[in-house]
Amino acid sequence: MSIRKAITELLEADVISSETAQRIEAYYQSKSAHRANLPTIILTVLGTVLVGLGGILIIGHNWDNLSRFVKTLIAFLPLLTGQAACAYVLAKKRDSAVWAESTATFLFFAVGACIAMLAQVYNISSIEGQFMLSWFLLCLPLAYIMRSSTVLMLCVGLATYYVGETRGNLLYLALIAATLPYYYGLMRRATPSRFGYLLSWLLPLSFLVAFGVMLDHAHYTLLFIAYVALYAFLYQLGGIPLLQRQPAASNGYRVAGLLGISVMLLMFSFSWYWDELADNASRYSSDGSFFQEQHVSNILCAITLLLNLLTLLLYVLHRRTFPSKPANPIAPIAFACTLLVALVVFTSATHNSAAIMVTAAQWAVNILTLLLAVYYIRKGDRENRFAKLNYGLLLMAGLVACRFFDSNLPFLLRGIAFMLIGVMLILINSYMHKKRQRHVQS
């Protein structure tokens, strides 16, 4: 509900006086006047980028006819223009977010265009990632000096591209670390920044991409459990006080963590995963290793353990900071999955009751997934939150669907079961809606 509507409603209900209403309205108007208008910034930035690109395309049409000297001069034009514009903004329009964002973004692209054009003029083939790294290092300070969140987000994009191009160079971690002070500044403001919310999605997505690139040589059975550890870590990270202040949908750490864990649990609920895990462990145990590519597997195991430790640390800190809040089961479930994988690998490698362990692990994961679904259904009902309730219902429905695909039941029975699940979803949502309406009326 908008502020204005809320004020009108309160006035009509005689909750506030007209004088109070005017003071509230004046307060919010003064806040929005100083606040950067996100749509305006985005459109202005887009406009400057298009102007720059249009210029490059026009020049590019006659590129071959120009001498090397002229091409070099043209390559520097956008860069010098961008630097002059940024210097002007720093000197005269420091308080204007629109000016700062648009000039800084223009300069960001001008730096990249200059290096790229010179590489074309001199036919320079860069070493993998070198161009991205240079561009990042020359532009990240711009984000801090000009206070440009757009440039910072573009730098996160560059770092992600860099880790992909270099197939997992660890320098990526240092590049991301360099963006964190700015991000921290955005998130600790009394008035939350919408750029902060965007970064709260961009950073976890960047981690997920980098993680996959860094470990793509690993066997997928180990990669899955490493991802479970990463998702649990992201979920727990999203629960720290600084990040928990933002709206739930803006907390990319929690959303990505929860969705990721759900998908992984559903995949673990199938027997083929545990059979494959056990098979690999027993196959390679004869030469003293657990998996093919032992070196990569060792690194993956170490990373999984480290992530679990960090998750445990965050979990304990969260419980101490919010002792009255009920414990969330995500982290314990992730630890349990890691333990199950370790047990299956160990028993398979030592040929010690492996078949029993495989069956037990699959059953355990199914029970854990069911418990997670029930937890969110109850939580959604208690807190009157449709999103949590429906997430729990969908997770349960997904688990049932996976079991049906996994089994040899006739189509008729499967069809009836799906219909029952659909009816259950409709009835529960309807019950919740009526409950909410009764609560409002009372």
Shortest separation between residue 90's beta carbon and another protein, angstroms: 6
Among 130, 134, 289, 429, binds another protein (CB under 8 A): 134
Shortest separation between residue 83's beta carbon and another protein, angstroms: 5
Asked if 141 interacts with another protein (CB under 8 A), we say: yes
- Helices 294-321 and 330-349 pack at an angle, to 10 degrees, of 150
Among 86, 226, 277, 372, binds another protein (CB under 8 A): 86
Taking CB under 8 A as the binding criterion, the range among 114-122, 201-209, 350-358, 408-416 that sits at the site for another protein is 114-122
Q: What gap in Å lies between CA 68 and CA 306, rounded to an integer?
A: 53
Name the residue nearer to another protein (CB basis): 62 or 441.
62
Q: What gap in Å lies between CA 26 and CA 297, rounded to an integer?
A: 61
Site size with another protein, rule: CB under 8 A = 34
Taking CB under 8 A as the binding criterion, the range among 5-13, 115-123, 307-315, 327-335 that sits at the site for another protein is 115-123
Shortest separation between residue 381's beta carbon and another protein, angstroms: 53
Length of the chain, in residues: 442
Asked if 133 interacts with another protein (CB under 8 A), we say: no
Query: CB count, 10 Å around CB of 375?
Result: 18
Q: What gap in Å lies between CA 426 and CA 420, rounded to an integer?
A: 10
Joined tokens for residue 151: 């440039």
Name the residue nearer to another protein (CB basis): 95 or 287.
95
Asked if 122 interacts with another protein (CB under 8 A), we say: yes
Among 27, 28, 76, 405, binds another protein (CB under 8 A): 76
Asked if 213 interacts with another protein (CB under 8 A), we say: no
Among 75, 156, 203, 358, binds another protein (CB under 8 A): 75
Q: What gap in Å lies between CA 114 and CA 440, rounded to an integer?
A: 61
Joined tokens for residue 145: 């000096």
Query: CB count, 10 Å around CB of 105?
Result: 26
Q: How does DSSP classify residue 123?
A: T
Asked if 145 interacts with another protein (CB under 8 A), we say: yes
Among 11, 21, 72, 342, binds another protein (CB under 8 A): 72
Taking CB under 8 A as the binding criterion, the range among 69-77, 184-192, 285-293, 410-418 that sits at the site for another protein is 69-77
38: nearest Cα among 181, 243, 198, 247: 198
Looking at this protein, which amino acid is placed at residue 420? Answer: L
Q: What gap in Å lies between CA 153 and CA 108, rounded to an integer?
A: 11
Asked if 115 interacts with another protein (CB under 8 A), we say: yes
Asked if 94 interacts with another protein (CB under 8 A), we say: yes
Helix or strand (DSSP H, E) at 14: none
Shortest separation between residue 369's beta carbon and another protein, angstroms: 43
Asked if 158 interacts with another protein (CB under 8 A), we say: no
Residues in 36-65 that interact with another protein by CB under 8 A? 60-61, 63-64
Among 142, 154, 198, 330, binds another protein (CB under 8 A): 142
CB 169 within 8 A of CB 129: yes
Name the residue nearer to another protein (CB basis): 96 or 120.
120
Name the residue nearer to another protein (CB basis): 28 or 122.
122
Taking CB under 8 A as the binding criterion, the range among 24-32, 45-53, 85-93, 427-435 that sits at the site for another protein is 85-93
CB 280 within 8 A of CB 219: yes
What string of DSSP letters covers 204-272?
HHHHHHHHHHHTTTS-HHHHHHHHHHHHHHHHHHTTSHHHHTS-GGG-HHHHHHHHHHHHHHHHHTSHH
Asked if 96 interacts with another protein (CB under 8 A), we say: no
Looking at this protein, which amino acid is placed at residue 152? Answer: L
Q: What gap in Å lies between CA 255 and CA 261, rounded to an integer?
A: 10
Q: What gap in Å lies between CA 296 and CA 168, rounded to an integer?
A: 13
Shortest separation between residue 222's beta carbon and another protein, angstroms: 25
Asked if 130 interacts with another protein (CB under 8 A), we say: no
Residue ranges binding another protein (CB under 8 A): 60-61, 63-64, 67-68, 72, 75-76, 79, 83, 86-87, 90-91, 94, 111, 114-115, 118-125, 127, 134, 138, 141-142, 145-146
